[in-house]
Amino acid sequence: MDFSFTEDQQAVRDLALQIFSDCCTHERLKELEDKGAWLDEDLWKELANANLTSIAVPDELGGSGMGIVELSLMLQEAGRHCAPVPLLETGVLGVLTLANHGSEAQCKQWLLPVVDDGAILTAALEEIGSADPSRPKLRAVADGDGWRLEGQKVRVGAAGRASGILVPARFEDGNVGVFVVAPDADGLEISEQRSITWQLQGQLDFAGVAVGRDALIGDEAKGVAIVREMVEHARLGLSAQMLGVGEEALQRTAAYLSERKQFGRQLGSFQAVQMRCADAYIDLEAMRATLWQAVWRVSEGLRAGAEVQAAKWWAARAGDRVVHSAQHLHGGIGSDIDYPIHRYFLWAQQLMTQLGGGSQLLAELGALLVSDDERPRL
pLDDT in tens, 292-309: 999 999 999 998 999 999
The answer as to whether 241 is a domain residue is: yes
Do 233 and 364 belong together in one domain? yes
Do 249 and 334 belong together in one domain? yes
Do 210 and 234 belong together in one domain? no
Do 97 and 154 belong together in one domain? no
The answer as to whether 376 is a domain residue is: no
Do 291 and 310 belong together in one domain? yes
The answer as to whether 228 is a domain residue is: yes
- Is the pLDDT at 266 greater than 80? The verdict is yes
Q: What does the pLDDT look like over 118-139, one tens digit per residue?
A: 999 999 999 998 889 999 999 9
The answer as to whether 158 is a domain residue is: yes
Do 208 and 323 belong together in one domain? no
Do 46 and 161 belong together in one domain? no
% of the chain beyond a pLDDT of 90: 79
Instruction: Residue 63: give its domain's CATH number.
Output: 1.10.540.10
Nearest to 103 by CA among 183, 228, 214: 214
Q: What is the mean pLDDT of residues 15-23?
A: 96
The answer as to whether 1 is a domain residue is: no
% of the chain beyond a pLDDT of 70: 97
Do 271 and 357 belong together in one domain? yes
Instruction: Residue 295: give its domain's CATH number.
Output: 1.20.140.10
The answer as to whether 357 is a domain residue is: yes
Domain boundary among 193, 218, 243: 218
3-state secondary structure the chain: CCCCCCHHHHHHHHHHHHHHHHHCCHHHHHHHHHHCCCCCHHHHHHHHHCCCCCCCCCHHHCCCCCCHHHHHHHHHHHHHCCCCCCHHHHHHHHHHHHHHHCCHHHHHHHHHHHHHHCCCEEECCEECCECCCCCCCCEEEEECCEEEEEEEEEEEECCCCCCEEEEEEEECCCCEEEEEECCCCCCEEEEEEECCCCCEEEEEEEEEEEECHHHEECCHHHHHHHHHHHHHHHHHHHHHHHHHHHHHHHHHHHHHHHHCEECCEEHHHCHHHHHHHHHHHHHHHHHHHHHHHHHHHHHCCCCCHHHHHHHHHHHHHHHHHHHHHHHHHCHHHHHCCCCCHHHHHHHHHHHHHCCCCHHHHHHHHHHHHHHCCCCCCC
CA atoms within 13 A on the CB side of 52: 29
pLDDT of residue 377: 41
Q: How confident is the model at residue 333 (pLDDT cuts 50, 70, 90)?
A: confident
The answer as to whether 133 is a domain residue is: no
Do 88 and 146 belong together in one domain? no
Which residues form the domain of 268? 224-371
Number of domains in the chain: 3
Domain boundary among 173, 202, 218: 218
How much is the pTM? Answer: 0.94
- Is the pLDDT at 374 greater than 80? The verdict is no
Do 343 and 238 belong together in one domain? yes
Domain boundary among 169, 196, 218: 218
Do 237 and 345 belong together in one domain? yes
Do 185 and 268 belong together in one domain? no
Distance of alpha carbon 66 from alpha carbon 45, whole angstroms: 20
The answer as to whether 125 is a domain residue is: no
Instruction: Residue 145: give its domain's CATH number.
Output: 2.40.110.10
